[in-house]
Each structure stands twice: as structure tokens, then as C-alpha cells.
Amino acid sequence: MKINWMGHACFFIETEKKKILCDPFSDGTGYPLFKGNADLVTISHDHWDHNAFHLVGGNPLVVRDPGSFSFEDIQIKGIPSFHDKAHGKKRGSNIIYKISVDGINLVHLGDLGHVLTREQVKEIGEHDILFLPVGGTFTVNAEEAYEITVQLKPKIVIPMHFKTPVNSFDIDPAEAYTIKFERIVKKPFLKIDRTELAYPTQVIVLDYPVN
């Protein structure tokens, strides 16, 4: 499996047989638009910087609702959550996606705006790789993101939705979160299989594409 961070909350995941895209964005984030094909697209919520499935080639299956779905050898679970701490009254709802493929369980938290409930932790269950927003303002902040890391205990955390030099959003940089860990690994992309997943939790910061 190969994982590329496309910027913001968007990840392009290439498995043995399929291509998966999470939370594609429209123009305006500062990152290049995704111009490739995908077989499956997940949408955590209906905001322009997360829901641009119309820009994706390949006539993908689009999953944008809670519930359980199957797509050939891929299992998807959408878990309801909120974009804020006021049960969605400020920014609406958000869907957490658990994607199981190639023997690896990935969890994309979308624009999660609150620490997880006990029920949500149970719903997520066993997983390996966590895509975690850390920038605050529109999502959980670094302190809350760290609390979620403790709640879920993933094998790998990949931070997302944080301030970068090309991004104009009023959010914190990744360092507000990563400073809480002794060792951070930086990679252009992550290539991994099931045999390489192990504790303790590893934080990996991926590069983003530039124009």
C-alpha cells in the first residue's frame, strides 16, 4: 500500500488493486488540485475543501454517508460525528471513515471537531493507520488531537489539516501536535504492508505536492 498526502485532509491511497481518495478539495486551499483517477472516494462532510468528488476521474464510487459498505475487496464503515463541540450546531456533521483493505485498517477522521466518545472509540475498533486533524480552529486542536491519539492507540498517526507555507487557513502548524512525541518521521509518501505495522505508535509527517 502506498499513501500520498495531497494536502489539507486529502489522501490518495493505492492498494494492490484499487485507488482510494479521501476528502478531495476544490480550488482555494493552496494545494494543487487532484487530477487523477480513483476507484473509491470518501467524503467526510459537504464543505468545498472536502467534497470535490466531481473533479476526480475514473467514475469512482462515492461514499458520503454513515453506515457499512463493501466495494469488492474493500470494507468501509462510516461513523457519525460532529464538525464542532456543539453537536453540529456551528459547523454541521462529520463522518469518520474506517477503510479496511489489504489487511490494513485505515481511519480518516475528516474534520472532527471534538474528542471521541466511548461509543465512537468502540465503533472504530481495531485499526492501524490514523489520519488525524491537528490544526485547530475548524477541527480539534493539538491537545485534543493528542487525547484522541491516546484514546485510539493507532500504530501509525499521519497528521493532516494543519498550517503549511502554501495554505492560508488560520490553523496551527503540525509542530503544535508533533512536539508531544520524542520521534517524528518525515517521508515524501508512506509505502507499507501489514508486516511492518507494530507498536509503539509512530508519527509520520508526509510531504504535500506543490505547484
Q: Lowest mean pLDDT of 100-109, 146-155, 192-201, name the range.
A: 192-201
Instruction: Give the model's confidence band at 210: pLDDT under 50 very low, under 70 low, under 90 confident, else very high.
Output: confident
Of 102, 178, 116, 111, the C-alpha closest to 152 is 116
Domain locations in the chain? 2-206
Report the C-alpha gap between 112 and 138 in whole angstroms.
8
> Which residues have C-beta within 8 Å of that of residue 97, sequence separation ≥ 6?
22, 42, 44, 63, 76, 77, 78, 79, 107, 108, 110
Report the C-alpha gap between 179 and 112 in whole angstroms.
21
Task: Examine the pLDDT at 168 and tell me if it is beyond 90.
Answer: no
Region 146-168: what's the mean pLDDT? 96
pLDDT tens sequence across 41-92: 999 999 998 999 999 999 999 999 999 999 999 999 999 999 999 999 899 9
Task: Examine the pLDDT at 211 and tell me if it is beyond 90.
Answer: no
The pTM assigned to this predicted structure is: 0.96
pLDDT of residue 148: 98
Check if the beta carbon of residue 84 is closer than 8 Å to that of residue 62: no
Region 148-154: what's the mean pLDDT? 98
pLDDT tens sequence across 18-30: 999 999 999 999 9
Average pLDDT, the chain: 96
Domain 2-206 has CATH 3.40.50.720: no
pLDDT tens sequence across 169-178: 999 999 999 9
pLDDT of residue 188: 98
pLDDT tens sequence across 112-133: 999 999 999 999 999 999 999 9
158: helix, strand or coil: strand
pLDDT of residue 193: 93
pLDDT of residue 145: 98
